[in-house]
Amino acid sequence: MIFTQIKHKLSNRFIRNAGWLGSAELANRVFRLGTTVVLARTFSPQDYGLVAIIITANEFANVFTCKAGIGSKLVQAPEKELDSLCETAYWMSWIASVLIFISQCLTALLVGWFYKDSRLILPICALAVSHLMLPLFTVQISLIERENRLNIIALCNGLQSVLINILTVFFALLGWGIWSVILALVLTMPVWVIINRANCSWHPKTSFTLHRWQEIASYAVNIIGSDLLVKLRDNLDYLLVGRFLGLELLGIYYFAFNAGLGISLSVINSLTWSLWPHLCAARESLRDLRYRYFGGLKTIACVIIPMVLLQSSLAPFYVPIIFGSKWVSAIPILIVVCLSAIPRPFFLAATQLLNAVDRTHKSLQWGILLTVVYTAAILVSVQHGIFAVAISVLASQFLVTPIFMAWTTKYVFKPVS
């Protein structure tokens, strides 16, 4: 009986995909642990602060990339419309990528002025180069995701992560400072191009076309809006801490997030990325969709909650041993940050449920609500130090997420008896 239940679980496509992505993230974590140790012992808190601002600026630009909104439409689109949408999506991705590249370079000047530090400008411009590679595999990765072949995406993610960590350590030991992180990210981007194009034979069959671009854009705009709010919530505390409390305290805060939340976010991303095509495949049947959604929530709860609680409880022991005594002051922040990971995947799962049934405007509205609560809490707490900011992040997530999940369940599944 037990063997049969285990076999049934492993045959579930969502579980298999999460397993592939989780394995890739596990490999990433093993290598990244060594990277974090090296950086913790070679970087100053101010170096961490600079990297936090640079990566944050790039993360905001990533929201607008074709891989987010345009790619999501290809995963969700009906089969009969797929060919024409792929052709248009390919050319839209080129337009979007060029515009994002230019915008990020211009934004670099504003960031340097805002923080009064010219060292931020050139690294942000260098990271913008990676956006120009996205159109080379946007359609391919979307079709692979649509076919639930997430083992391919796991391979890309795992291989790039391993190479990033190796190159970052190598460059850091050479004394290249913050450029060790920037160059590693840019130089490993071709991994996605090579592997996705090798595993998907699609290529554009027509010349330039924007046929039905409005259909893609109208769907993508709400997806991008929701993703932008997620990025804003994930990075707003960095921006405000850096502006009001300085780069050194931001460096301590950023270290706590990377050393504490990094592992949890990797697992969260694996589970939520696997859940999206799993839900889209059942969007025509509310009963099947309900089964898949609640099964996904159960899996998320069984994985995330024990892992977060274990990591939080062990933080006082492993931080001074692994990262050095100079980071002991970050332990209370790290513990609170770890706990804030618990509600995150549940909010994302509810968002994906609404997106799967074409209610992207509803997920956007709830994202706006959480962001408003989140922003207000941080603006108040930043006046009282970085630990207060961490507490406000935790409280905001736990306040809004249960209400959002309850509303979403009732809204989507009300027709099901």
Q: In the 3-class helix/strand/coil scheme, how is 161-207 assigned residue by residue?
A: HHHHHHHHHHHHHCCCCCHHHHHHHHHCCHHHHHHHHHHCCCCCCCC
pLDDT above 90 for 64 = no
Instruction: Quote the pTM value.
Output: 0.64
Residues 6+ apart with CB under 8 A from 373: 396, 399, 400
Tally the residues of the chain: 417
* pLDDT tens digits, 134-150: 889 989 988 988 887 87
Distance separating alpha carbons of residues 367 and 372, to the nearest angstrom: 9
* pLDDT tens digits, 189-233: 999 999 999 998 898 887 888 887 888 887 777 777 777 787 777
Q: For residues 65-93, give the mean pLDDT.
A: 80
- Count of beta carbons in the 10 Å neighbourhood of residue 372: 13
As a whole number, the mean pLDDT across the chain is 81
- Count of beta carbons in the 10 Å neighbourhood of residue 8: 10
Distance separating alpha carbons of residues 198 and 412, to the nearest angstrom: 38
Residue 363 structure tokens: 């997920």
